[in-house]
Structure 1
Amino acid sequence: MNAEGGALRQARGTSSGEGALRQAQGTSADAGAQGTLPVRPELVGEEPYGAPQLDVPYALNVNENPYPPSEKVVAEIAAAVAQAARTMNRYPERDAVELRADLARYLGHGLTSDDIWAANGSNEVMLHVLMAFGGPGRSVLSFAPTYSMYPEYARDTHTAWTTFPRRDDFTLDPVAAVDAVRDQRPDVVLIASPNNPTGTAVDLDTLAAIADAAPGVVVVDEAYFEFAHAGTPSALELLPRFPRLAVSRTMSKAFAFAGGRLGYLAGAPAFVDALRIVRLPYHLSAVTQAVARVALANADEMLAAVDRLRAARDDLAAWLSARGLQVAASDANFVLFGRFADRQAVWQGLLDRGVLIRVVGPEGWLRVSAGTPEEMAAFKRALSEVLEAGVG
């Protein structure tokens, strides 16, 4: 049971609360019976990944874009779904070539469909990466703290998981990072930039030095790149220099397309072909491909809220700092803040006031997503009350 779940059970009671928690986290009442099945040893006692999904007035825990598509885009999506439904008796286009071409046009940098891979969220993209380049006897290196799913991808593909610490401000020491790569010689290096849960971006010189030193492949996870401060360069600029480098993105965040489940990766055609080998047949449904193409065709409109969310993030960071809290510099659509002697109590105090944020990252820190003016006002009001009550 994770910390959020434990506090939720305490907040909601031990009977209906447990049922709500299982529903929120996707766990089963019969999880204890797992030991009677021939489950892989490393999976015994594990619980499915997932932040709590609760019916609260203000959900600011999973970094969603709070601004839904316009009615115009909704109508176009509905029409695309209807068209796809007319051929639902047939399998979808296996390699999503047209969608990949659209993604290449969106990214620019001279990319073509041959340089792009797409899957069900960047989660599946990363799983494909470790299926292709990780595995038994191989290792993956990342820089902690970082995305909490990375070690699960490693576990599920029998890839050894290793980390090297970031600086106290969550940036990477370029010399130490390169030394770690040379010392550990990982088959895969995963670098989130902007990093989740800290929001920290990694400069191109550091990424290039790591890519130059790495004996295997390097993937820069740019899931939150569209929220980066103006002028922040993308690792896409490095692709021509490093054929073993790839850059992953997602449409879940900036595109307000979390429900569409579309992630993608840019890299050399040989890198993409390796991922094609391990993907399941017809892994992207006809509906997913159709609606993602509509979203990309309306990219300007889908991304229209990015500037507002950047401003909300920066305002939120300044507000938290003004209250004497530590705030990690963020190029994402969230802010990591602390430090609290009892972050669980602060999280619970916010939940009691209808505001759900995330217990994640280093001990003592909490993460909150940037949201609408109403959501930000509710968070500030709730946190002020919690702090004034001496909680945390």
Structure 2
Amino acid sequence: MERVTSLEDLPLRTNLQGRSPYGAPQLHVPVALNVNENTHAVPEAVARDILAGLAEAIRSVNRYPDREFTALREALARYLGEGLTADNIWAANGSNEVLQQVLQAFGGPGRSLLGFAPTYSMYSILASGTDTTWIAGTRDADYELSPATAVSEIVRTDPDIVFLCSPNNPTGTPLSLETIAAAYDATDGIVVVDEAYAEFAPVGTPSALTLLPGRERLLVSRTMSKAFAFAGARVGYLAADPAVADALRLVRLPYHLSALTQAAANAALAHSAEMLAMVDDIRGQRDRLVVELACLGYAPHRSWSNFVLFGGVTEPRETFEALLGEGILIRDVGIANHLRVTAGTEQETTLFLDAIARLGRSDRPGQTVPAQAE
């Protein structure tokens, strides 16, 4: 039998041919600020309780887990508040799987998904994986998205599903409730607000969760990866009308959330205050990045996330490689003259800022460091 030697030798679906999988560099470096992780460790007392929950769960892994992950849905509803109950909640292995299930249920052949580029690169990949047509809509200046622009793009493209990233990734741009409401009113399809970074918004900022009553086609997606420092646990969830959860049950795999995942998430949610204690510090480091990058002559965009996109980078690839040479990994997101950096701990942020300041002095032709940054 002839040996298959490459992807091109396989009878791949037509809409997947020539595509590349999602992937950020996975490199072992002293300072990794490239994938918007929460770089703070899980508090020791919380880690002990999570381990205790896992130890208890492991005793019964010979049996399938609770298919309805009832305790987790109840805990997530309590965490979100806004009058939500377990019936409003769905969860999966990371918010990417939640979004994939949404597309499996409401997308597919002959249906389309509208997003507003530049935005989270997984949206188009998930669309391809579910054979849903991806439509890249436009944004306003500085990557903002006004109600008028959102409605105009929806009317122009007539999508079956709309994804709104709030705040937007990779730009960090906030999204107003007025834009979300206008987008919802402009379509008869599903509207998903991806609030992966919602906890990093200014204190008191209302969530799209407040818009859920009376809007049965509105879904608000969240994750425990970012603010909860739980990226490795892979727990994402959404809040919506109970009928949405019924729809997602049609496409989920049996027992898709393991007993260990459920146990770890339940233990973490029981300590939500401790798990979120580092959010204020991350906001502070994010705001510090905005101020100091501007002082260094770059053009950082306003951000309500745990990262900062900054322009004014003459040679993004060279700057990326130079920082990597100093053990600092950030992200080239493919936007001309821009790079993106995660807000890390105070020490990590200092190491990044010191390194990029040195590059401004010596490695970026035509660039000078303003006196106040010396």
Q: How many residues align?
A: 363
Show CA shifts across 1:296-352 (max 9, x none). Answer: 000000000000000000011000011221111000000000122321111111101
**Secondary structure in 2 aligned to 1:83?**
helix
Q: 1:379 aligns with which of 341, 352, 359?
A: 352
AA paired with 1:74?
A
Shift of 1:45: 3.7
| Structure 1: segments with no counterpart, 5+ residues | 1-29
Query: Of residues 130, 135, 143 in structure 2, which corresponds to 1:157?
Result: 130
Partner of 2:271: 298
Question: Given that residues 15 and 131 in structure 2 are in contact (C-alpha distance below 8 angstroms), is that contact kept between their aligned partners in structure 1?
Answer: no
Aligned equivalent of 1:133: 106
Q: Give the Cα–Cα distance (whole angstroms) in 2 for the partners of residues 173 and 55 of structure 1.
A: 40
- Are 1:185 and 1:215, in contact at CA under 8 Å, matched by a contact in 2? no
- Check whether the contact 2:297–2:312 (CA below 8 A) recurs between aligned residues: no
Task: Check if 1:110 corresponds to 2:87.
Answer: no
Secondary structure of the 1:293 match is helix
Corresponding position of 1:208: 181
Q: C-alpha distance in 2, partners of 1:214/1:237? A: 19
Find the counterpart in structure 1 of residue 155 from structure 2: 182
The answer for the alignment partner of 2:300 in structure 1 is 327
**Structure 2 CA distance, aligned partners of 1:361 and 1:32?**
30
* Cα drift, residue 361 of structure 1: 4.7
Matches within 5 A, 1:1-392: 33-391=6-364
User: Using the alignment, how far apart are the partners of 1:173 and 1:101 within structure 2?
Assistant: 35
Contact 2:138 2:153 (C-alpha < 8 Å) held by counterparts = no
TM-score by length of 2: 0.95
Q: Quick one: distance in 1 between partners of 2:187 and 2:5?
A: 42
**Would you say the 8 A contact 1:146–1:361 is kept in 2?**
no
What amino acid does structure 1 have at the position aligned with 2:288?
A: D
Does the CA contact (< 8 Å) of 1:198 and 1:361 recur in 2? no
3-state SS, counterpart of residue 200 of structure 1: coil
Take 1:347 and 1:193, find their aligned partners in 2: how far apart are those partners?
Answer: 26
Separation of aligned partners in 1, 2:21 and 2:116:
23
Report the Cα distance in structure 2 between the residues aligned to 1:50 and 1:35, rounded to whole angstroms: 20
Equivalent residues of 1:217, 1:245 under 8 A apart:
yes
Distance 2:21 2:316 in 1: 23
Amino acid at match of 1:298: H
In 1, Cα distance between equivalents of 2:360 and 2:295 = 13
What's the counterpart of residue 18 of structure 1? none
Q: Which amino acid aligns with 2:246?
A: D
Task: Give me the TM-score of the superposition, normalised by structure 1.
Answer: 0.90
